[in-house]
Amino acid sequence: STKKLWGGRFQAQASKWVDEFGASISFDQLMADEDIEGSLAHVKMLEHTKILSADDVAKIVKGLEGIQADLHAGKLTFTVENEDIHMNIESILTDRIGPVAGKLHTARSRNDQVATDFHLYLKKRLPKVIDEISTLQETLVEMAEENVETIMPGYTHLQHAQPISYGHYLMAYYQMLKRDKERFTFNMQHTDIMPLGAAALAGTTFPIDRNYTAKELGFGQVYANSLDAVSDRDFALEFLSNSSILMLHLSRFCEEISLWVSHEFKYLDLSDAYTTGSSIMPQKKNPDMAELIRGKSGRVYGHLIGLLTTMKSLPLAYNKDLQEDKEGVFDTVKTLLPSLKVFNGMLKTAKPNVERMKQATENDFSNATELADYLAAKGVPFRQAHGIVGQLVLKGIQTHQNLQDMSLTELQAASPKIEKDVYHDLKSEVAVERRHSLGGTGFDQVRLQIKNAKNELGE
């Protein structure tokens, strides 16, 4: 293999397979753009501080810009001998402009360089993630608005509990995504700090101007401690953690979608465009996209645990272990954005089976709480009312009738306080509509949630 950029003190060369094991170029070339941007800002700072001459800097800038253009045109080739994106670019620069290229690395180390590239990479992607979350929130609000009065069973323990509004259900996910967005927005604060200028670990004797470089690169802050600058990956851990929670939210929804499209529920119909057939069973329409998003949560959690484990025993400052920080983050970005996009499309085109959802709340005892509340409102202590209704439910199970199917005489046998108006209260839409408590499923409350959400989304 060829002579290494750092080859001065070495006599023997690594074999090809050791080079391959140590190299990161196969994946860190994803940060080629950020690496060139970082170098351009660094070299301009070196001119500004008169560490390098304007003449030298002009040559380096011209060379880097040429490389940038070729990168965008897909014309660059990288080699494993040059190990990583940083040395590949520097080596190409040397081929193009000669030994003056060697001045680019003045007052810089790959340790602060790679950390800076990684920060820049994530800084560019976080707004895209936040945007996709907002798009999904808009879809949820839109659908909630159409379904304020769509009645469905609310579950606890996957058992019919109390009827709710489908709009209320959708707005619950809106709230989860709102917190996700807040987490990613906070993540941005820790990503917006520049490591460059920490050099290898201790800073540099050159009179550099880190604030100048930060301004060039659009960083809001610079790391205050050079050891921390080159060894911190909290911003990446936060990203993986936030992503895990987001995927968890999508996965829960996907689980319910998979249940709801099943023969047993039939609450929801997915568009053909988001389902697949079976190669053997002609009747099948499978919720593949929902299952795949649910499944992909696994790899994202894996990346979080992976990086936490890589980091947990690292002495300060840079260790080569840190090269393991990137692939999981890259893959998470590659997983998150399409998952959000596909989920959004799937949800937008999903049709709730309004009749069937409503029916499911009428063929059960999910209005039992209504009857207990009815008695409690008439002065029966709630505990006692609970007992009375419990016995009516037992009787209903034995005689195969729901509470609203029982005659007034039957109901009054359980409690003389029950009057004819009880049948109104036992209707599921009434049970939902009347839940006016703040944040409840009452129609007015769901409309209030939607109104506030629209404000938050700036609509």
Q: Which residues contact 433 (CB under 8 A, 6 or more apart)?
A: 149, 442, 443
Task: Give the total of residues touching ligand ARG (CB under 6 A).
Answer: 10
**With respect to ligand ARG, which residue has the nearer C-beta, 110 or 358?**
110
Of 110-118, 249-257, 307-315, 429-437: span binding ligand ARG (CB under 6 A): 110-118
Closest contact distance (angstroms) between CB of 332 and ligand ARG is 17
Using CA atoms of 91, 96, 28, 238 in order, give the dihedral in degrees to the nearest 10: 100
Q: Which residues contact 107 (CB under 8 A, 6 or more apart)?
A: 46, 51, 197, 199, 204, 206, 208
**With respect to ligand ARG, which residue has the nearer C-beta, 24 or 361?**
24
**With respect to ligand ARG, which residue has the nearer C-beta, 202 or 394?**
202
Of the residues 53, 262, 278, 436, which is catalytic? 278
CA distances from 371 to 162, 417, 426 (A): 12, 11, 7
**With respect to ligand ARG, which residue has the nearer C-beta, 116 or 323?**
323
Catalytic annotation present for 72: no
226 near ligand ARG (CB under 6 A): no
Closest contact distance (angstroms) between CB of 103 and ligand ARG is 19
**With respect to ligand ARG, which residue has the nearer C-beta, 30 or 248?**
30
Of 206-214, 273-281, 315-323, 397-405: span binding ligand ARG (CB under 6 A): 315-323
- Strands 268-269, 351-352: pairing is antiparallel
Phi, psi of 99 (to 5 degrees): -60, -20
**With respect to ligand ARG, which residue has the nearer C-beta, 267 or 318?**
318
Closest alpha carbon to 342 in 285, 283, 277, 296: 296
**Contact with ligand ARG (CB under 6 A) among 111, 116, 139, 241:** 111
SS3 state at 176: helix
Could you identify the residue written with the tokens 């911190």? 232
β-partners of residue 151 are 165
**Contact with ligand ARG (CB under 6 A) among 42, 59, 108, 110:** 110
322 near ligand ARG (CB under 6 A): yes
Stretch 42-101 residues interacting with ligand ARG (CB under 6 A): 84
**Contact with ligand ARG (CB under 6 A) among 323, 366, 367, 415:** 323
**With respect to ligand ARG, which residue has the nearer C-beta, 56 or 84?**
84
320 near ligand ARG (CB under 6 A): yes
35 near ligand ARG (CB under 6 A): no
Query: What is the C-alpha separation between 301 and 291, in angstroms, rounded?
Result: 16
- Per-residue exposure over 413-446, b if at least 16 CB sit within 10 Å of its own CB, e if not: ebbebbeeebbebbbbbbbbbbbeeeebbbbebb
Q: Which residues contact 374 (CB under 8 A, 6 or more apart)?
A: 385, 418, 422, 425
117 near ligand ARG (CB under 6 A): no
Catalytic annotation present for 53: no
The single-letter DSSP state of residue 314 is P
CA distances from 91 to 66, 99, 395, 423 (A): 14, 10, 84, 82
Of 58-66, 318-326, 428-436, 451-459: span binding ligand ARG (CB under 6 A): 318-326
28 near ligand ARG (CB under 6 A): yes
Closest contact distance (angstroms) between CB of 223 and ligand ARG is 16
β-partners of residue 163 are 153
For residue 317, cis peptide bond before it (omega within 30 degrees of 0)? yes
| 388 sits in which H/E element | helix 382-399
Of 67-75, 107-115, 245-253, 344-352: span binding ligand ARG (CB under 6 A): 107-115
Of the residues 157, 279, 400, 437, which is catalytic? 157
Nearest-Å Rg of the Cα atoms of the chain is 31
**Contact with ligand ARG (CB under 6 A) among 121, 267, 318, 374:** 318
166 near ligand ARG (CB under 6 A): no
Closest contact distance (angstroms) between CB of 307 and ligand ARG is 13
Catalytic amino acids? Answer: 157, 278
Q: Which residues bind ligand ARG (CB under 6 A)?
A: 24, 28, 84, 110-111, 114, 318, 320, 322-323
